[in-house]
A and B are shown apart, each in its own frame.
Chain A
Amino acid sequence: MQLPRFDFIQPATIDEACSLLDERKGDATVLAGGTDLLIELRRRLRKPGCVIGLKEMRGLDYIQKDDGGDLRIGALARLQWIESSPIIAEEYPALAQATRLVAVPPIRRVATIGGNLSLDTRCIYYNQSEFWRSAQADCIKLGGDICHAVPKGRRCLAVCQSDLAPVLMALGASVKIVSAEAERTVALADFFTGKGEKPNVLAPGELLAEVIIPSDGQRAAVYEKLRIREGMDFPLAGIVVSLGTDGQGAAAGARIVLSAVGPAPTRIVEAEGLLEGKRIDDDLLEQVAQVMFERAHPVANLAMDPWYRRKMVKVLTKRAVRQALETAKAN
């Protein structure tokens, strides 16, 4: 299937890109790696008049520490750089681990961190060809007023498919958003709206420019991902557990993020609280997993039974906590 026709412009600088976005507000979309955008265009899920190609743009392609010790990753940093970066391997190994679970090497070579964070949510009734979709009424995500996944559903529950978002959220990351007029930094938790039809706060004319990760200390984080094809697949459920130990083997400062069961990755504070200051045994693990299970509400909108996905949340939680604890003790 051919792509729809569009104007294609490759700006050289961020300022140029921003003024282009401003000029053609609402009609322009940015193409970074393009590994997901081109598929959406093919399916006519987006119909931009203008595509702004960023592959040759300089200025957002870095991974570096700033003076305050935070790690700054330009939105155009390729996923392959992240998995092979010495700084990330040393200080944020979970980010490298999660990156290796995204797609496959040829895709990670072009795909970018900014693109991964701003991935659109997915649903089996939405991510289809235009012809396939023409057989039924437009759903909420397409601007209609019905949901095909949930009978009588009034909210779009299309699923967040980013593997990096839950990890970055557990690491306390924030993102810098720029536009022609302004610049703002938002915590990743506030970047996601929780709405399937409009998953993030990026407004027309705005560009995701940078990811900022604070120094993580002696913590260990683990990402567990459920998928059908182990070689490459979007997540059907995801759990990130990040924690440290107090020296006597008890958990400290735990953060647990639940993802790929709803429109946004979410920290489950209640589950985190259960672990705080405790030595982790099987009973406690069961309690934490039970909380995660109760907070996960997948619906029948991805290629696997929602009840199975929900039960796997429990299994993945246990695996992630055990492994994070082991790594934290070894640190």
Chain B
Amino acid sequence: MEQVLIKLTVNGREEDVRVSPHKTLLEVLRDDLSLTGAKNGCEDGSCGTCTVLLDGAAVRSCLLLAMEAQGHEIVTIEGLSDGQNMSPLQEIFVNQGAVQCGFCSPGMILTAKALLDSASSPTETEIREAISGNLCRCTGYTKIVEAVMAASGQPVPVRTHPYEGDVSERAAS
């Protein structure tokens, strides 16, 4: 049960880390590499906020041992921006109001990135299916789905606020 030296490729950089075999990828990213973008949420796979990209596909980093991630390309939310500027996908999430507290955002954005990399213009159903494992407790999924649609260049459905407009007119219809 000694510590082992492993090589991880994170956000394009080779990192040498000493880990105990029982450390998850999430723990190593957060504690050893100081990449705290991926969050520790439910610890049982149901919330999706620890999502990272492994060889381009979204996976749960809390359900993967760090040692199992050797030899694979890992991308965390930090890997999307260049350190100064956000990536276009992140910009759109901000502009569409798809971020509130931000706890789910790293997972949401990476899951969306994996989807957009494999399907250029996913339908609303496909988007909802893709993010079905990511829990958001404040923004609401509508804005997030709209952000992903906007990111793929699709028109975002116009939704009027329920209390906007003439109430009597709405009651009549």
Report the minimal beta-carbon distance from A53 to chain B, rounded to whole angstroms: 6
Please determine whether A1 and B43 come into contact, CB atoms closer than 8 angstroms. Answer: yes
Please determine whether A3 and B24 come into contact, CB atoms closer than 8 angstroms. Answer: yes
- Selected from A5, A8, A105, A107, the residue in CB contact (under 8 A) with B67 is A8
The verdict on A55 contacting B68 (CB below 8 Å), with A39-B63, A104-B48 known, is yes
Please, which residue of chain B has its CB at the minimum distance from the CB of A34? B63
- Does B13 belong to the interface (CB within 8 Å)? no
Please determine whether B21 and A8 come into contact, CB atoms closer than 8 angstroms. Answer: yes
Question: Using a CB–CB distance below 8 Å, which chain A residues touch chain B?
Answer: 1-8, 10, 31, 34-35, 38-39, 42, 51, 53, 55-56, 103-107, 109-110, 229-232
Chain A contact residues, majority secondary structure: loop
- Does B18 belong to the interface (CB within 8 Å)? no
A2–B21 alpha-carbon span in the complex (Å): 12
Chain B: number of interface residues, binned into ranges: 20 to 34
- Does B22 belong to the interface (CB within 8 Å)? yes
Please determine whether A105 and B130 come into contact, CB atoms closer than 8 angstroms. Answer: yes
Please determine whether A8 and B65 come into contact, CB atoms closer than 8 angstroms. Answer: yes
A42–B64 alpha-carbon span in the complex (Å): 12
Please determine whether B22 and A35 come into contact, CB atoms closer than 8 angstroms. Answer: no
Please determine whether A105 and B129 come into contact, CB atoms closer than 8 angstroms. Answer: yes
Please determine whether A53 and B68 come into contact, CB atoms closer than 8 angstroms. Answer: yes
Which residues from chain B contact A104 at a C-beta distance below 8 Å?
A: 48, 132-133
A91–B39 alpha-carbon span in the complex (Å): 41
- Does B46 belong to the interface (CB within 8 Å)? yes
Which residues from chain B contact A106 at a C-beta distance below 8 Å?
A: 48, 51, 57-60, 111, 133
Please determine whether B67 and A110 come into contact, CB atoms closer than 8 angstroms. Answer: no
